[in-house]
């Protein structure tokens, strides 16, 4: 359960007109919320603007903000338009985020997305010709392309480790990455949760190995915040880049970069503005990016309050419950390959699969036409899997309806797009 005192402190520090609506939600959600308590989660669904006939299973791409977040962004914009800009409540923002995802409040930087955050890292460290950066064949372009650019410009090498699909256990994943480490490896950059299959990598173990070898570890953490109950102070890695506009349901254009203590004064800024060289500011000097859209940060503050009201332990239990229901149903489908791991410690709230003889893009169009279902096809790396994401606004009925449609698709086929 959330700490009500810290939750109200966060709201009180915002200085805007919307906190009471978030507090009212938190009061409604003070009891109940077991993973299978669909009545409770239907009340959570009512806090969103999602049309009643839409089954949205693509949170892994973009999270639909709840109404209180949309209102916070609008209110901030109205105050600016009325020439009363409230500015950014940095202490509240960092403190609330630290309570929600762990870590030291002084380690947070707020770029626009994971891509920009990873660019800050790739351009901010020193790489020399002949150095190697190691990544995997399950990285999103936002985490991958910054390293491709920097290694090409510096005359360094980008190596790619192949991950097992589906993964069996954590040691198999760690070994698959570590087999590609050489005496020239300077950086390892991997996803905490892969966008391709929703597989959780053993970041703590990779961190242990990297530290022993003097290798930097950059983590693409686009998915865990808002999905998993995590603590950035123990996850591992020198850098953790994320996109709160996914599972944390913050506005588009809200990113997150967490720096461990040594790098708060060592990382070269990618964007230089006043104070970039003032090391007494620590990581906050990287937040000096000139005039920005502060309304997105007001929305992020509201999203943090929204999740504090729900409690991350309760959120994670619910999204895992729905994913297990979905994955169990998929196992009953004939001629279906499930790319996501069966091991609970490797699984999260996304599952990817392919039905033999059915083009996943055709299936995506079919689900959209039949029941207004929004999905994602992993076309990257020519994988061709359909990926479904489950979040707090989804119901057991949503999952069952999609499984029924998939059974029909196997039995009768799917028309081409």
Tell me if 29 is assigned to some domain: no
Residues 6+ apart with CB under 8 A from 23: 7, 8, 11, 309
**Residue 162: is its pLDDT beyond 90?**
yes
Tell me if 396 is assigned to some domain: yes
Main-chain dihedrals φ then ψ at residue 202, nearest 5 degrees: -80, 75
Tell me if 49 is assigned to some domain: no
pLDDT digits (tens, 9 = 90+) for 314-359: 999 999 999 999 999 999 999 999 999 999 999 999 999 999 999 9
Domain that holds residue 298: 90-302
**CATH value at residue 403:** 3.90.1150.10
- Residue 333 tokens read as 């489908």
Residues 268 and 406 in one domain: no
| Per-residue confidence band for 8, with pLDDT thresholds at 50, 70 and 90 | very low
- Residue 177 tokens read as 């990455």
**Residue 255: is its pLDDT beyond 50?**
yes
Q: What is the pLDDT of residue 73?
A: 94
Count how many domains the chain has: 2
Average pLDDT over the chain, rounded to whole? 93
User: What per-residue string of b and e applies to 205-241 under the rule 16 or more CB within 10 Å gives b?
Assistant: bbbebbeeeebbbbbbbbbbbbbbebebeebbbbbbb
Residues 359 and 269 in one domain: no
Residues 224 and 325 in one domain: no
Across residues 368-377, what is the average pLDDT? 97
pLDDT digits (tens, 9 = 90+) for 387-415: 999 999 999 999 999 999 999 999 888 88
| Per-residue confidence band for 21, with pLDDT thresholds at 50, 70 and 90 | low
Residues 230 and 182 in one domain: yes
H helix count then E strand count, the chain: 15, 13
Residues 200 and 132 in one domain: yes
> Coil, strand, or helix at residue 185?
strand
pLDDT digits (tens, 9 = 90+) for 172-214: 999 999 999 999 999 999 999 999 999 999 999 999 999 999 9
Q: How far apart are the first and last CA of the chain?
A: 46
Tell me if 83 is assigned to some domain: no
**Residue 7: is its pLDDT beyond 50?**
no
Place of tokens 């800050």: 120
Residues 262 and 350 in one domain: no
Across residues 119-134, what is the average pLDDT? 98
Tell me if 31 is assigned to some domain: no
pLDDT digits (tens, 9 = 90+) for 102-113: 999 999 999 999
Q: What is the pLDDT of residue 365?
A: 97
Residues 6+ apart with CB under 8 A from 384: 354, 359, 360, 377, 378
Residues 329 and 288 in one domain: no
Residues 122 and 261 in one domain: yes
Q: pTM to 2 decimals?
A: 0.93
Residues 256 and 157 in one domain: yes
Q: How far apart are alpha carbons 287 and 283 in whole angstroms?
A: 8
Tell me if 64 is assigned to some domain: no
Percent of residues, the chain, with pLDDT higher than 90? 88
């Amino acid at each position: 359960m959330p700490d009500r005192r810290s939750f109200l402190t966060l709201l009180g520090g915002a200085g805007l007109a919307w906190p009471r609506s978030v507090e009212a939600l938190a009061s409604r959600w003070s009891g109940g919320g077991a993973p299978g308590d669909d009545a409770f989660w239907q009340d959570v669904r009512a806090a969103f603007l999602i049309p009643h006939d839409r089954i949205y299973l693509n949170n892994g791409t973009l999270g639909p903000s709840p109404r209180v977040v949309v209102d916070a962004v609008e209110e901030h914009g109205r105050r600016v338009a009325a020439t009363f800009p409230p500015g950014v409540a940095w202490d509240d923002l960092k403190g609330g985020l630290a309570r929600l995802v762990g870590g030291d409040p002084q380690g947070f930087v707020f770029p626009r997305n994971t891509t920009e955050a990873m660019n800050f890292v790739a351009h901010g460290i020193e790489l020399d010709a002949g150095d190697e950066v190691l990544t995997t064949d399950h990285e999103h372009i936002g985490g991958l392309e910054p390293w491709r650019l920097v290694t090409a410009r510096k005359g360094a090498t980008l190596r790619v480790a192949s991950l097992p699909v589906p993964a069996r256990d954590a040691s198999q994943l760690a070994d698959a990455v570590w087999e590609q480490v050489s005496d020239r490896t300077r950086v390892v950059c991997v996803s905490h949760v892969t966008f391709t299959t929703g597989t959780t990598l053993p970041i703590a173990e990779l961190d242990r190995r990297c530290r022993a070898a003097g290798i930097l570890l950059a983590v693409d953490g686009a998915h865990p915040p808002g999905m998993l109950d995590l603590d950035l102070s123990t996850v591992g890695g020198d850098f953790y880049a994320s996109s709160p506009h996914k599972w944390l349901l913050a506005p588009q254009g809200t990113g997150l970069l967490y720096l461990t203590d040594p790098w708060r004064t060592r990382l070269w800024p990618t964007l230089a503005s006043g104070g970039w060289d003032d090391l007494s500011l620590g990581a906050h000097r990287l937040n000096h990016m000139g005039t920005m859209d502060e309304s997105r940060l007001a929305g992020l503050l509201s999203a943090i309050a929204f999740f504090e009201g729900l409690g991350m332990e309760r959120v994670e239990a619910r999204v895992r419950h729905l994913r297990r229901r979905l994955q169990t149903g998929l196992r009953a489908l004939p001629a279906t390959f499930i790319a996501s791991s069966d091991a609970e410690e490797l699984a999260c709230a996304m599952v990817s699969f392919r039905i033999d003889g059915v083009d996943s893009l055709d299936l995506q169009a079919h689900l959209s036409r039949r029941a207004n279902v929004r999905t994602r096809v992993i076309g990257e790396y020519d994988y061709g899997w359909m990926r479904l994401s489950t979040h707090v606004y989804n119901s057991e009925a949503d999952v069952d309806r999609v499984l029924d449609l998939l059974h029909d698709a196997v039995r009768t086929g799917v028309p081409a797009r």
